[in-house]
Amino acid sequence: MGIIKALKCRECNKEYSPTFVYICEECFGPLDVIYKLANNITKQTFENRSDLTYWRYFEILPVEHKKNIVSLNGSITPLQKADNLGNRLGGLKNLYIKNDSVNPTFSFKDRPAGVAVSKAKEMNLPAVGCASTGNLASATAAHASKAQLPCYVFAPFDLEHVKIAQALSYGAKFIAVEGTYDDANRLASVIGDSNGYGIVNINMRPYYVEGSKTLAFEVLEQLNWTVPDVLVIPVGSGAMLNSICKGFEEMMDLGIISDISNLRIIAAQPHGCAPIVDAYKNKSNEVIPVERPDTIAKSLAIGDPGDGSYVLKRLRQFNGIGEEVSNDEIKRAILLLAKTEGIFTEPAGGVSVGVLKKLIEDNKIDRDEKIVCYVTGNGLKTTESILDLLPTLNPVKPNIQLVSAMIQ
Ligand SMILES: *Cc1c(COP(=O)(O)O)cnc(C)c1O
Ligand SMILES: [Zn+2]
């Protein structure tokens, strides 16, 4: 399994042994997992594996003993060549959708939550939990159910009701906070630390973020280890974007790919909660928190993103762009993706597709580039968000003449 060399401070590089720690005691910087990588790992190592879950990349995941893996056995998700959508956007020949809406709990959060809950089991923690904008609640709760660990979810009370029902069904204790995600986050942090609970995206963050790297590994393997030109990534806290970049760097370190200097990263945020894109556009290194996020893309409604400044750094490193789209553009993008590619996503996926459309129209992405657009959550959780754009149904009597008249 993955052999962890150390946890290393992202700011001052101080190293820590890989225990239940998450913040540098010198400078309060976040800690990242670094590995002792065996030098005999090649692309065949992964290609030859029969394990179709993201644990096929276990050498670079932070769990030491296989017996501690807590998995819902979701398969590698589809990388769909999107020629219909590409045509609609103006003749894109190399557009792919990474369809992560089909994970076991229907969002990409099964990746980081699965890794963190496995690590919680490995560290013998008595309970797990999370602060959630919706999807992490279910991902953590479902894995906790499989591990038979108690799970505490802290989330804003006004989430989509399907996301709440789903998390409750898995047996989570749901603390519905009358406030924002940032309020829920602060509560989860204090309660996690004082009780020794593994709050997957707070005090287990070094391990948690590792799961999302597999979004880089899978895409690389699915593209036969060729590096795409452009990645479009929806951004809330920024953890996923940062982790995908780390994934590409680790494949470089392994020598499995040789050059990522042409890779460009697009950070996609919703208007109404786009603090990172605002900083990017103002050419500032400082992310100014949004106090009252206001967007239909609730999974991205994080006013004070934990990895905000690191996303800005990644955009500089990868010649990237930050862009935002309005609620209306999000809804239209959801329907465009559904009608061209048969993929039904929630607003977060509408944000990636909407931003892609905008950047193509603004000629900021070339039409012949190899583009991967990450679609991270499922539309079935958020049907209320697009109802007003759908045709209304007029019920009809089961009469052949009446129905025939409707078909014309
Ligand atoms: C959480 C979430 C994101 C954002 O991930 P971060 O790591 O917070 O940036 C994107 N899409 C969906 C569907 C999510 O649930
Ligand atoms: Zn430090």
User: CA separation (Å) from 350 to 153, 324, 341?
Assistant: 26, 11, 13
Question: Which DSSP string do the residues of 80-122 spell out, in sequence order?
Answer: EE-HHHHHHTT--SSEEEEEGGGSTTSBTTHHHHHHHHHHHHH
Tell me whether residue 380 is in a domain: yes
Query: The CATH number of the domain where 305 resides is what?
Result: 3.40.50.1100
Query: Is it the case that residue 166 has pLDDT exceeding 90?
Result: yes
3-class DSSP state of 292: coil
Ligand 1: residue whose CA is nearest its atom 2: 299
**pLDDT tens sequence across 8-31:** 999 999 999 999 999 999 999 999
- What number is the average pLDDT over the span 27-48? 94
What is the pLDDT averaged over residues 146-171?
97
Ligand at shortest distance from the CA of 374:
1
Confidence tier at 1 by pLDDT (50, 70, 90): low
**pLDDT computed for residue 6 by the predictor:** 97
Identify which of 69, 70, 76 has the alpha carbon closest to the alpha carbon of residue 214: 76
Q: What percent of the chain has pLDDT over 90?
A: 97
Query: Could you tell me the pTM of the whole model?
Result: 0.97
Q: Which atom from ligand 1 is nearest to the alpha carbon of 237?
A: 8
The neighbour count for residue 265, using CB atoms within 10 Å, is 23
Q: What does the pLDDT read at residue 39? A: 82
Q: Does residue 341 fall inside a structural domain?
A: yes
Number of domains in the chain: 1
pLDDT in tens, 79-107: 999 999 999 999 999 999 999 999 999 99
DSSP single-letter state for residue 23:
B
Show the 3-state SS of 230-280.
EEEEECCCCHHHHHHHHHHHHHHHCCCCCCCCCCEEEEEEECCCCHHHHHH
Task: Tell me what the mean pLDDT of segment 141-153 comes to.
Answer: 98
Please give the residue range of the domain that contains residue 86.
Answer: 79-106+209-389
Task: Starting from the CA of residue 298, give the closest ligand.
Answer: 1
Dist. CA 263 → ligand 1 center (Å): 21
Protein residue closest via CA to atom 1 of ligand 1: 299
Phi first, then psi, for residue 158 (nearest 5°) are -100, 35
State in Å: Cα 310 to ligand 2 middle. Answer: 14
Q: What average pLDDT does range 291-299 have in this prediction?
A: 97
Dihedral sign, Cα of residue 35, residue 40, residue 43, residue 46: negative
Q: Is residue 174 within a helix (H) or strand (E), and if so which, with residue range?
A: strand 173-177
Mean of pLDDT values over 42-54: 96
Residue 2 identity:
G
Substitution candidate for ligand 1 out of 99, 237, 242, 295 with most atoms within 8 A of CB? 237
Two tokens, residue 360: 């193509």
Q: How confident is the model at residue 400 (pLDDT cuts 50, 70, 90)?
A: very high
Residue in 240, 265, 310, 344 to alter for ligand 1 test, most ligand atoms within 8 A of Cβ:
240
In 133-262, alpha helices (H) = 135-147, 161-169, 181-195, 205-212, 214-222, 239-253
Is 40 part of any domain? no
Which ligand 1 atom sits nearest the alpha carbon of residue 100?
A: 13
- The one-letter amino acid code at 327 reads N
Q: What are phi and psi of 167, to 5 degrees?
A: -65, -40
Residue with tokens 């996020």: 293
Report how far residue 277's alpha carbon sits from residue 352's, in angstroms, rounded to the nearest whole number: 13
Atom of ligand 1 nearest to the CA of 212: 7
Q: What secondary structure letter does DSSP report for 75?
A: P
Angle (CA) 104-3-253 rounded to 5° is 90
Read off φ and ψ for residue 33, nearest 5 degrees: -75, 130
Distance from the CA of 6 to the center of ligand 2, in angstroms? 13
Let me know if residue 252 belongs to a domain. Answer: yes
CB 372 within 8 A of CB 230: yes
CA distance 333 to 354: 5
**Residue 256 within any structural domain of the chain:** yes
Residues 257, 268 contacting (CB under 8 angstroms):
no
User: pLDDT (tens digit, 9 = 90+) per residue, 364-394?
Assistant: 999 999 999 999 999 999 999 999 999 999 8
Q: Using the mean position of ligand 1's atoms as its centre, give its distance from the Cα of residue 151 in Å.
A: 20
Exposed, middle or buried, 341 (CB in 10 Å: 0-12/13-18/19+)? buried
Question: Ligand 1 centroid to 375 CA: how many Å?
Answer: 10
Q: Are 175 and 154 in contact (CB under 8 A)?
A: yes
Asked whether residue 68 is domain-assigned, the answer is no
Ligand 1 pocket test: which of 108, 287, 296 has the largest number of ligand atoms within 8 Å of its C-beta? 108
Is 262 within a domain? yes
**Protein residues with CB under 6 Å of any ligand 1 atom:** 107, 109, 133, 135, 234-240, 299-300, 346, 348, 376-377
Whats the size of the chain, residue-wise?
408
User: Which atom of ligand 1 lies at the shortest distance from residue 233's CA?
Assistant: 10
Residues 310-329, mean pLDDT to the nearest whole number: 98
For residue 2, name the pLDDT band (cuts at 50, 70, 90). Answer: confident
129 pLDDT higher than 80? yes
